Structure 1
Amino acid sequence: MTAQIDAPRAKRIDPKYNRARKSRNNFEMMAWLFMRLSGVVLVVLIFGHLISNLLVGQGVHAIDFGFVAGKWASPLWQIWDLTMLWLAMLHGTNGVRTIINDYAEKDRTRFWLKTVLYVVAAFTVLLGTMVIFTFDPCISETFAKSLPLQCGAGA
């Protein structure tokens, strides 16, 4: 006697759990592939960032305003940090989007959670990009005079 095993997709899925709409594009596959590739690139970018900041030179004690100003004077480090920012935000946003799709049961809840996610991610990427490209290491004399008082280093 043999047992009959149904094909995995032979049973009808309860409609409340069937959220997958048929689409002609492969967005989810591309998102999955992006997560793997961006993860590999991020590991290289992050270790390069950590090595240049912590192991080369005086280590963590040398990181201050002047260190960042000197580093961002080079277009290489601007592009490096910008790439790291963009990839990390896109990677994290895609991961949270997947979690929202998995755990938010109502379409309306899923829509609003993803809307908030995309707005916050876009704001963070925009703000970070502006900081990297508009960073001015030449501070005004008025601000320079008050800097030691603000930092608690004394006058």
Structure 2
Amino acid sequence: MTAIETSALKPADRPRRRGVNLEKWGWIYMRASGVVLIVLIFGHLFMNLMVGDGVKAIDFGFVGGKWADPFWQWWDVLMLWLALIHGANGMRTIVNDYTSPGVVQKVLKGALFAAAAVLIILGTLVVFTFEPCPVGAPADLLPSFCAA
């Protein structure tokens, strides 16, 4: 009987790569952010749809009142950041799966990064700079709940 020699290295004998394993941390992020997003989204839906008058109460005044509280500002910003990064990371995985390494893959990943960054910046600015009753605005343009 003849033994067949194999040149494949056993996992313990393979040289280990140095540095941060970004794929592993991306995988961990997707699981952790998914769990946190479930809590944030269901809390958001419960407060907006079940508490008070439900969906018919959601209007400009409702959002203005909700975002007057820093707790809800941070709740919504955390939900925004986690959802956008989670989605962009998922799309990055799809780009990796369906394109070969090269220029196209780099362009697609760059576009994903740019879109996520712009949306995160704009969304964060909207939440923290939202002012339903701006000072100096004409009284006829202000919502009814603002003091003229």
TM range (shorter): 0.7 to 0.9
Moved over 3 A (4+): none
Q: How does 1:1-155 map to 2 (within 5 A)?
A: 10=8, 24-139=19-134, 140-141=137-138, 144=141
Going from structure 1 to structure 2, the CA distance change for 1:107 and 1:70 (only over 3 Å counts) comes to same
Residue correspondences, number = 133
Equivalents in 2 of 1:111, 1:118: separation in Å? 10
Equivalents in 2 of 1:60, 1:34: separation in Å? 32
Equivalents in 1 of 2:138, 2:55: separation in Å? 27
Shift of 1:24: 2.8
Equivalents in 2 of 1:143, 1:114: separation in Å? 46
Which residue of 2 is the match for residue 19 of structure 1?
Answer: none
TM-score normalized by structure 1?
0.78
Instruction: State the one-letter code of the partner of 2:84.
Output: M
Equivalents in 2 of 1:143, 1:93: separation in Å? 42
Q: SS at the partner of 2:131?
A: coil
TM-score normalized by structure 2?
0.81
Equivalents in 1 of 2:139, 2:92: separation in Å? 45
Equivalents in 2 of 1:123, 1:94: separation in Å? 15
Equivalents in 2 of 1:70, 1:106: separation in Å? 48
Q: How large is the Cα RMSD of the aligned pairs? A: 2.4
Going from structure 1 to structure 2, the CA distance change for 1:108 and 1:55 (only over 3 Å counts) comes to same
